[in-house]
Amino acid sequence: MAVNTQARTKTWTYVDGDWIEGNPPLIGPVSHAMWLGSTVFDGARWFDGVAPDLDLHCARINRSADALGMRATMEAGTIEGLAREGLKKFDGKTAVYIKPMYWAEHGGYMSVPADPDSTRFCLCLFESPMIASSGFSVSVSPFRRPTYETAPTNAKAGCLYPNNGRAIMEAKSRGFDNALVLDMLGNVAETGTSNIFMVKDGVVFTPAPNGTFLSGITRSRTIRLLREAGTEVVEKSLSVGDFMDADEIFSTGNHSKVVPIIRIEGRELQAGPVARNARELYMDWAHG
């Protein structure tokens, strides 16, 4: 039987006005969320005494709920306040993942769309160490990111992640840590877990948001910090060939912030100076 590793870590969940320790059963077999996938979430991070951009993550979960036809029932500021309250339940030794969620209990017309009046909210906090900043490998995935016309790519929706999951599993079956996922036109979109950047001749490039991937909060913060530090950052359509010819590649995401990519297909790469600078800029800002 598969085991939920998150259930092994210290976990607190706020739901219906109370904090509950552990992994409470919240969704039943007739819930719209289990049956038809109306779940959205967001992920913020607490580490080293800071929770960078927590307010932006709390605001985005409400936009995601609206995008899936649900009704956001909590103000972003209230969610942030609850998160900071919940963080006091931890010992401060291990990084914490902060996960607000909405889901629908009932469906609307013929049960298919969510009934916005049945929207429920919870906030789950659990210990989750950040991965090492030494880097990881990627392989080009045969699976593609959907477009806005075919999936709710404007939301951080649970229904999008099985596609990322199969991309990662396929890459792991070939000895790689993660997958480089393309959009339907063959442009590079992201990795299976994060946004992606490359460096060529000192200039940083990253895929332009085109509705096929979530333009992450950490991505935007990193772009801003690099530009403020005098580094040119260009958002444009990028091919696999561009990445194969890059001087450096790195990723950004909420889980572990800025991490270098040290192998793409058969090509080995070093964790270069621009990626190190981007990580240092982010961490200095986060702690500042």
Q: Where are the beta strands (DSSP E) in the chain?
A: 11-15, 18-21, 39-41, 44-46, 96-104, 119-127, 136-144, 178-182, 188-191, 195-200, 203-207, 233-236, 248-253, 257-264, 267-268
Single-letter amino acid code for the residue at 89? K
Rounded to whole angstroms, the Cα distance separating 60 from 53 reads 11
Answer yes or no: are the C-beta atoms of 264 and 236 closer than 8 Å: no
Q: In the prediction, which pLDDT does 108 show?
A: 81
Mode of pairing for the β-strands spanning 136-144 and 178-182: parallel
Domain with CATH 3.30.470.10 in the chain: 8-127
Residue 152 DSSP label: -
CATH of 8-127, one of 1.10.357.10, 3.30.470.10, 3.40.250.10, 3.90.380.10: 3.30.470.10
Domain with CATH 3.20.10.10 in the chain: 136-287
Q: In the prediction, which pLDDT does 161 show?
A: 96
Tens place of pLDDT per residue across the chain (288 aa): 333 445 568 999 999 999 999 999 999 999 999 999 999 999 999 999 999 999 999 999 999 999 999 999 999 999 999 999 999 999 999 999 999 999 999 998 788 999 999 999 999 999 999 887 889 999 999 999 999 999 999 999 999 999 999 999 999 999 999 999 999 999 999 999 999 999 999 999 999 999 999 999 999 999 999 999 999 999 999 999 999 999 999 999 988 899 999 999 999 999 999 999 999 999 999 999
Name the CATH architecture for the domain at 136-287: Alpha-Beta Barrel (3.20)
Q: Which two tokens stand for residue 240?
A: 């696999």
Rounded to whole angstroms, the Cα distance separating 15 from 136 reads 36
Q: In the prediction, which pLDDT does 8 show?
A: 66
Q: In the prediction, which pLDDT does 9 show?
A: 82
